[in-house]
């Protein structure tokens, strides 16, 4: 269960750790989806896909650094609890996206984007 204060601050009440991570993923998607997606695109060197050539030098640099590749290599090495938490978090983000089809934050409309890829545990590792 999530209770929000009058000023929008959420409080998560979960029966177990999985549900707490799931709800945090949902809430982050609800409140910070554009920021999350932008950060994963930066880390993956794919920001130019939405911003064009203005982001190309940044994309080349981040791909050279291999942030996404490092995240892909790191995720399987994490402990079971960490992997489980990241999977539950990702499920929460994706559940939010599925529950609100076509309701992306307004920044996406400015960029002409009407859908984004599902969130993955590696996305979270890449921006950590």
**What is the CATH classification number for the domain harbouring 19?**
1.10.439.10
Calpha distance 100→106 (Å, rounded): 14
**C-alpha triplet 92, 99, 28: angle, nearest 5°:** 40
Measured CA to CA in angstroms, residue 78 lies from 5, 75, 85, 92, 112 at distances of 35, 5, 11, 20, 37
Q: Residue 119's domain spans which residues?
A: 2-127
Give the pLDDT of residue 8. 92
pLDDT tens digits, residue range 18-71? 999 999 999 999 999 999 999 999 999 999 999 999 999 999 999 999 999 999
Number of domain units in the chain: 1
Calpha distance 67→94 (Å, rounded): 22
Q: What is the percent of the chain where pLDDT is above 70?
A: 100
Calpha distance 43→126 (Å, rounded): 6
pTM confidence score: 0.94
The SS3 call for residue 6 is coil
Give the pLDDT of residue 12. 94
């Amino acid at each position: 269960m999530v209770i929000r204060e009058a000023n929008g601050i959420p409080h998560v009440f979960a029966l177990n750790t999985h549900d707490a991570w799931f709800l945090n993923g949902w809430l982050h998607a609800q409140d910070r989806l554009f920021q999350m997606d932008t950060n994963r695109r930066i880390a993956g060197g794919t920001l130019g896909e939405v911003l064009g050539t203005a982001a190309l030098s940044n994309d080349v640099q981040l791909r050279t650094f291999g942030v996404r590749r490092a995240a892909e290599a790191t995720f399987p090495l994490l402990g079971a609890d960490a992997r489980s938490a990241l999977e539950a978090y990702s499920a929460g983000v994706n559940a939010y996206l599925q529950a609100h089809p076509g309701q992306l934050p307004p920044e996406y409309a400015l960029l002409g984007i009407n859908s984004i890829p599902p969130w993955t545990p590696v996305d979270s590792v890449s921006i950590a």
